[in-house]
Homo-oligomer: A and B are copies of this chain.
Amino acid sequence: MEDTSIKELVDSYINLTFSIEKNSVQLIKGQIRNDLTNDQHYILRYINQKEECTSSELAEVFHVKKSAITAIIERLWKKGFIQRTRDEQDRRVVYLTLTDDGKDLFQETELRIYQLVGSLINQFDQDEIEVFMKTYEKLNRIILATKEEMLGE
């Protein structure tokens, strides 16, 4: 492949990614209760699907420092969506879980997000979806590999 077409390809990819990302964020925000941000919902999701979830784990998955997680958890805790329980075996550890309120809010919001994303996906046909997801997964693997390579494992 010559340089010009690679250049154009990268160009399209960057522009498409930008557009899809910005507009998706907006669409998702439309499904989330007004006093919660998208990332706050994603954090509820992560805690919900984890058996035992800690701040350190969240910091790693969300690619931010632990102190940032502390602040976010504090806000969600103040709103009554999250519980903190100390591990009695290792008293440094604090486990995060959703309260009943937190679970209710999460389920309700998640349903709406699933309906939204489902309605987007439904506009593609089976073949398209399969091929796309396969490449999308490969892209994910390549990005992860590149990241580990660049940031030193």
A residues near B (Cβ < 8 Å) are 1, 6-7, 9-10, 12-14, 16-27, 30, 42, 61-63, 113-114, 116-124, 126, 128-129, 131-133, 135-140, 142-144, 146-147, 150-151
Known pairs A14-B113, A118-B6; A123 contacts B142 (CB<8 A)? yes
Residues of chain B contacted by A42 (CB below 8 angstroms): 18
How far does the Cβ of A14 sit from chain B's closest Cβ, in whole Å?
A: 6
Q: A14-B113, A63-B26, A144-B23 are in contact. Are A120 and B139 (CB under 8 A)?
A: yes
| CB <8 Å contact, B21 and A21 | yes
Give the chain B neighbours of A20 by CB distance below 8 A.
136, 139-140, 143
If A63-B25, A150-B27 touch, whether A140 touches B19 (CB-CB below 8 Å) is yes
Across the interface, which residues of B come within 8 angstroms of A27, CB to CB? 143, 146-147, 150
Which residues from B are CB-within-8-Å of A126?
A: 1
